[in-house]
Structure 1
Amino acid sequence: MTTVACAPVDLVEVWRGDILESMHQGHAVICGADGQIVDAWGDAGAVIYPRSSCKMIQALPLIESGAADAHGLGTRQLALACASHQGARIHTDPVQDWLDTLGLQDADFRCGPQWPADVPARNAIIRAHAGPCQIHNNCSGKHAGFLTLNRHISGGADYELVDHPVQQMGRAAFQETTGEDSPGYGIDGCSAPNFATTVHGLARAMAAFASAHDRSDTRSHAMVRLREAMMLHPELVAGETRACTDLMRAMDGRAAIKTGAEGVFVAIVPEARVGVALKIADGTTRAAEAAIAAILVRLGVLDADHPAARARMVPDIRNWRGTLCGRIAPVTALAGR
């Protein structure tokens, strides 16, 4: 049977006054523990780059190989391995400590320097008449995980290359958890390869994390450790004012969520044993945040009236004087209104 690709569908509205000013379209899938689709909008078979939303998959070999335990990694390091952090001291200090225990330096990273999004950290660098280091990169925790795995397997220095054993282990974990052969890869902002999959495949991987407590194999134990670390330390996964941190705090350990560049978002919901993946076609973050919040409310793990939920799902649009000008909201079909 031939599968017909579907166009992206309306997911998030942007109103100014009484006129619908913009519409964000995309694809979203809720997947069950059996790998089958529970609910979907748009094209579940749309091929996407998960970008940073799949960092928990990339961290699986770190645990499965024995590297995490051999180097005494705790929940904070595991959360940072899954993080797209702000570059605040709360993030960079533990990553620096992690590097120190490995006997490595900033130059051993392959993620590139990045100005921190955290304002105090950025201002401190400016006042010092300095520039950012690689440790400030939002992916430095993931790369510390790569370096730990690389040390464990005695790999070469260029661990970010697609044919390096570290990335090949990551590719194997990615394809196994998504249940799909990746059609290719792109180079992510942090220089590591980012393997493509379908929205359904990404949701299937998140469902495997969500239902991992039902199984007793090595991978499932690793999945539980990573998702629990994320939920235990939401402040490390992103940072203050960020959707991942704010919404995980609002859900109080009921779900782990992770954003990715270009309008990608995923969720792991253990109590419902489902995974969620979504992609906003135009790559807009505000729409991805509104859509994931709406789905989490739909799944019953996020209170629609919680301030963090309202700030992401139905935020007001105000001008520079603070005047209410409009609103953003998920479409009825997504929100279940």
Structure 2
Amino acid sequence: MTPPVPMAEIWRGPFLESIHHGHAVICDAAGGIVESWGDPQAVVMPRSSSKMLQALPLITSGAADAARLWPEHLALACASHNGAAIHTDRVKAWLDHIGCTVDDFRCGPQEPDDLPARDALIRAGQKPCQIHNNCSGKHTGFLTLNRHLGGGPEYVDPDHPVQRACLEAFEEITGEASPGYGIDGCSAPNFATSLHGMARAMAFFAAARDGASAQEGAAARLVQAMVAFPELVAGEGRACTLLMRAMNGRVALKTGAEAFFIAIIPERRLGVALKITDGTTRGAECAIAAILVRLGVLDAGHPATRRFLNPPILNRRGIEVGMIRPGAAFA
């Protein structure tokens, strides 16, 4: 077993204060490893980076077309959104469209990360509800699929037809039998795989073309939706949204909890999967930016890139006291 390698460094003045170690894999369309750091066979929980895989049955089952879903719906099905009005208004409309309500959700309430939305709730004396959950788009996709399949209300149960369909797609596209699952923050099962398996899956998405197999067509539609609506996939100020905009729709990005990150690069037919072992988001954002610059799809000088790659650390008086920079693995 190969140990994780240094992927991001925190410098304070002339001193190396902290190091974030991790694993990363770049795969080609054939599933081969183009480049790797750390252990490609490390078993990982992709968390929200697997939402595109969980959304595949929504399309391949015919549920998306039967419900007349648009690309905006598909982007939300892949999203970990901020709970801003642009997200929650669309989720509400989608629920109405399929004849469901917030009470049908099984994701749980969450305070919005979007500050205007949070402050509006406070001023109105209201509590956040399930529609504010960052996974409410994914769960509306689950409900849409569930209506199509005729399943029971507990659609997050691992034995439910919705989750069985998700597992089947997950194992087919990663090319591996999952060793098991954990329950995600939104109560849905999150299936484990190797980092190589996850990168292989992202390369499948990168190479997918409309008009090919049902799975390829579905994958292509999801990627196109993500890059067309980066603000729906995450939100203002978030790395996924900012970096996708910086790359002008050339790359789809998706973060996951505990410092997971994926990239889908159609023009190169490459997939990237990355895990920072200490679970720190700043390390994952720095590392994925470094890999994208290394691959030539992200401009190192773009203002969005500089927010995550070599950004200054400012103290409370606004004085620059350090920086976050790529680790020795990328030297």
Shorter-chain TM-score range: over 0.9
- Find out whether 1:71 has 2:99 as its counterpart: no
* Aligned-pair CA distance for 1:331: 2.2
Equivalent of 2:213, from 212, 217, 221? 217
Query: For residue 101 of structure 2, what is the aligned residue in structure 1?
Result: 105
Cα distance between partner residues in 1 of 2:290 and 2:210: 27
- 1:18-37 to 2 correspondence within 5 Å? 18-37=14-33
| Bigger mean CA deviation after superposition, 127-136 or 183-192 | 127-136
1:272 aligned onto 2:273: no
Q: State yes or no: 1:94 paired with 2:90.
A: yes
For 1:314 and 1:232, locate their aligned partners in 2 and report how far apart those are by CA, in whole Å. Answer: 28
Identity %: 65
Shift of 1:130: 1.2
1:99 and 1:214, CA in 2 relative to 1: closer, same or farther beyond 3 A?
A: closer
- From 8, 24, 38, the counterpart of 2:4: 8
> Which letter maps to 2:12?
R
**What letter matches 2:228 in structure 1?**
L
CA–CA distance in structure 2, aligned partners of residues 146 and 130 of structure 1: 27
Deviations 1:234-272 (A, max 9, x none): 000000000000000000011000000001000000000
TM-score after normalising by structure 1: 0.97
Amino acid aligned to 2:315: N
Counterpart amino acid of residue 289 in structure 1: E
Deviation at residue 69 of structure 1 after TM alignment: 0.3
Letter in 1 for 2:329: A
Among 235, 241, 248, the residue aligned to 1:245: 241
Q: What are structure 1's unaligned runs of at least 5 residues?
A: none
2:313 aligned with 1:288: no
The AA in structure 2 aligned to 1:101 is H
* CA distance in 1: counterparts of 2:324 and 2:269, whole angstroms: 29
Q: After the TM superposition, which parts of structure 1 deviate over 6 Å for at least 4 consecutive aligned residues?
A: none
- The CA RMSD measured in Å over matched residues stands at 0.9
**2 CA distance for matches of 1:120 and 1:191?**
26
Q: Match of 1:148?
A: 144
SS of the equivalent of 2:308 reads helix
**Aligned letter for 1:258?**
K
Q: Is there any run of 5+ residues in structure 2 with no aligned partner, and where?
A: none
Q: In the alignment, is residue 43 of structure 1 matched against residue 57 of structure 2?
A: no
CA distance in 2, matches of 1:198, 1:333: 20
Alignment pair present for 1:233 and 2:234 = no
Distance in 2 separating the partners of 1:103 and 1:75: 20
Q: Secondary structure at the match of 1:58?
A: helix
User: 1 CA distance for matches of 2:98 and 2:270?
Assistant: 36
Give the SS at the match of 2:226. helix
Q: Aligned to 2:168, which of 172, 176, 180?
A: 172
CA distance in 1, matches of 2:286, 2:151: 41
Aligned pairs, number: 331
CA distance in 2, matches of 1:247, 1:171: 29
Report the TM-score, using the length of structure 2 for normalisation: 0.99
Look up the match of 2:49: 53
Tell me which residue corresponds to 2:307: 311
State the match for 2:78 in structure 1. 82
